[in-house]
Chains A and B, each alone.
Chain A
Amino acid sequence: AQKVTQAQTEISVVEKEDVTLDCVYETRDTTYYLFWYKQPPSGELVFLIRRNSFDEQNEISGRYSWNFQKSTSSFNFTITASQVVDSAVYFCALSEQGAQKLVFGQGTRLTINP
């Protein structure tokens, strides 16, 4: 069975601080996909990244970076020099090959204070 755990329910930091959101997953498949989504107060999910299980390279996109480590079944997300606009709920999700569905973690509510 697939499962995603985001242990941090809420995080609050001051603007310009770096912040890391943790994601731990469980799956029996060797082929799977990991995702991060942002959900601002408007409610619409914003796709941030997709990673397949065979690509462990870290990814950097502007202030965002992702650390994928199969050894610890983790796919952590770091925001560097956080901004108030980064305030949102962030979801990590997992899709197994052939499962045809996304399983979401509980989400982490991130608040960036000015």
Chain B
Amino acid sequence: GAVVSQHPSWVICKSGTSVKIECRSLDFQATTMFWYRQFPKQSLMLMATSNEGSKATYEQGVEKDKFLINHASLTLSTLTVTSAHPEDSSFYICSASKDSRGYEQYFGPGTRLTVT
């Protein structure tokens, strides 16, 4: 159990367009979901934490107007990269937790975004 999926697994978009990435917990209800970004050969950096039905909490330096996060249900969170630019190209990984503390996070397979 505790499977998390992401869709799409990879996406290429043109500069200036928006792209939406979905994160779903398939066999459990996720009280909390997390979004991470990973640049090539670098570590995972937390972008934001979202609780179902609440506004996401963004980490310092992450533009909330650019990276829109919606956690509409206990099994779905979406990350929308608005007006994407080449510097937004990265590997985006979501994780989901059954509890609000996030002690045990189950990670999705990641989405590779390339902005041309």
- Chain A residues within CB distance 8 Å of chain B: 33, 37, 42-45, 47, 50, 91, 95, 97-98, 100-107, 109
Contacts and interface: CB of A to CB of B under 8 A. Distances in A.
B107 interface: yes
Measured as residues with beta carbon below 8 angstroms from the partner, the interface class of chain B is: 20 to 34
A112 to B, nearest CB: 18
B34 interface: yes
A95 B109 contact: no
Interface string B15-46: 00000000000000000101000000111111
Contacts, number: 50
Contact of A95 (B41, B44, B102, B112): B102
Contacts of B110: 43-44
Contacts of A45: 44, 93, 107
19 contacts: A33-B103, A44-B107, A44-B108, A44-B109, A45-B44, A45-B107, A47-B107, A91-B43, A91-B44, A95-B102, A95-B103, A101-B46, A101-B49, A102-B95, A102-B105, A104-B43, A104-B45, A106-B42, A109-B41
Nearest to A44: B109
A37 B106 CA distance: 11
